[in-house]
Structure 1
Amino acid sequence: MPAMSALRCNGVLERVWKRLLERGKSKMAALVAVMRKMVHSMYGVLNSQRPFDPNYGSSTA
């Protein structure tokens, strides 16, 4: 349920969702990928003791 809510409120995760659907993934597979990305992001924030940065790792080229 948190991943479904995050899709409506978090632009980063919404872009991941849409990109996966465009690649032909099923909705459930895309949702699981969003859940996994959320867990990885939370782990990184807890480990580094830094606030969440939505632009971290994005390519600006």
Structure 2
Amino acid sequence: KFETGSQLCSYVGITPTIRESGSSVRGRSRISKVGNRKLRNLLFLCSFTACKHNKACREIFERITNKGKSKKLALIAVSNKLLKQAFAIAKS
């Protein structure tokens, strides 16, 4: 059904979306929240554990928070990474 991990992330709803019309951009980008809410919540909870035990996920989390971004935004990025890793494992 999906050819890339990015397509799966978009389906689940953890990719950022920008509200724009023409050349005007309204507000900050947010996650789209379309798709399975339970799966999105499960990935978010898994990102907590991944930040503690997975070195690559911890580096992503620290890199984003060191830039001054929120911890929630960093955890969404880790969720995105976890889903792409799971997709790569399932596809191979």
TM-score class, shorter: 0.7 to 0.9
Report the residue type matching 2:54 in the other structure.
N
Of 19, 36, 39, 2:80 maps to 36
Matched, 1:12 2:56: yes
Aligned length: 48
Higher relative contact order (CA 8 A, sep 6+): 2
Query: Which structure features the higher share of helix residues?
Result: 1
Two-structure CA RMSD over aligned residues (Å):
0.8
Query: Which structure features the higher share of strand residues?
Result: 2
Q: Highest CA radius of gyration, 1 or 2?
A: 2
TM-score, L = length of structure 1: 0.73
Unaligned runs of 5+ in 1: 49-61
TM-score, L = length of structure 2: 0.50
